[in-house]
Amino acid sequence: MEVETLPEISREWMQETAAKGTARVELENRAAQGLIIDHLQKGFLRCSFVIPPSASDTNGKWQVGAIATIIDIIASMVIFSETGTGRGQVTMDYNISYYSSANIQEEVEIEAKVIGNKGKLTSAVVEVKRKFDGELIAVAKQWTASNEFRAPWMKQPCKL
């Protein structure tokens, strides 16, 4: 039996998020639908994304809330590729700077990398660029903390 590497596990999770929907993560699935992973390694992710009509504002541009959602998803994915911790990641700081916009049906490139990993604290930076001319659309920086909180109503494992 072959052991999967962390980037392979990350790729499976990301492709599942982009391909199918569940009620629990409907917003994630809708925002990431059509996301194509171009390159993935530990702590680094590059994706291509064609902006869907559902992400449009009233002017036919990519809505800033939709940009923030896809950036949050990508940051979580790249942090998962570095740490292997998918559950229990809590966003501590999230900052986005918008520089320009993109039209619906335009292709963008999203590149993310982990820039700091201090045990339970991990930081990632995400850049979104227009694919055909490389114009910067947005840059985000996100810090997350690993939280092993278990709610009291969750079923605890048996000690027997």
pLDDT band at 73 (very low <50, low <70, confident <90, very high): confident
Beta carbons of 136 and 79 less than 8 angstroms apart:
no
What per-residue confidence (pLDDT) applies to 22?
A: 45
pLDDT: is 77 or 10 the higher one? 77
Q: Which of 71, 84, 69 is nearest to 4 (CA)?
A: 84
In the chain, the N- to C-terminal Cα span, in Å, equals 30
Task: Give the tens place of pLDDT for each residue, 95-151.
Answer: 999 999 999 999 999 999 999 988 888 999 999 999 999 999 999 999 888 776 555
One-letter amino acid identity for 53? Answer: P
Q: Rounded mean pLDDT of 86-98?
A: 81
CATH number, domain of 100, equals 3.10.129.10
The answer to whether residue 33 is domain-embedded is: yes
| Whole-number Å distance between alpha carbons of 138 and 129 | 7
What per-residue confidence (pLDDT) applies to 125?
A: 97
The answer to whether residue 98 is domain-embedded is: yes
Query: Where in the sequence is the domain holding 47, given as residue range(s)?
Result: 6-146
pLDDT: is 52 or 26 the higher one? 52
| Whole-number Å distance between alpha carbons of 145 and 72 | 14
| Whole-number Å distance between alpha carbons of 44 and 39 | 8
Q: Is 122 helix (H, G, I), strand (E, B) or coil?
A: strand
How are strands ordered across the β-sheet holding 89-98? 36-41, 44-50, 107-118, 121-130, 136-146, 89-98
Q: What percent of the chain has pLDDT over 70?
A: 69
Residue 36 has pLDDT above 80, yes or no: yes
- Could you tell me the pTM of the whole model? 0.76
The answer to whether residue 61 is domain-embedded is: yes
The number of folded domains in the chain is 1
| Whole-number Å distance between alpha carbons of 55 and 112 | 21
The answer to whether residue 158 is domain-embedded is: no
The answer to whether residue 155 is domain-embedded is: no
The answer to whether residue 159 is domain-embedded is: no
The answer to whether residue 157 is domain-embedded is: no
The answer to whether residue 63 is domain-embedded is: yes
| Whole-number Å distance between alpha carbons of 121 and 141 | 13
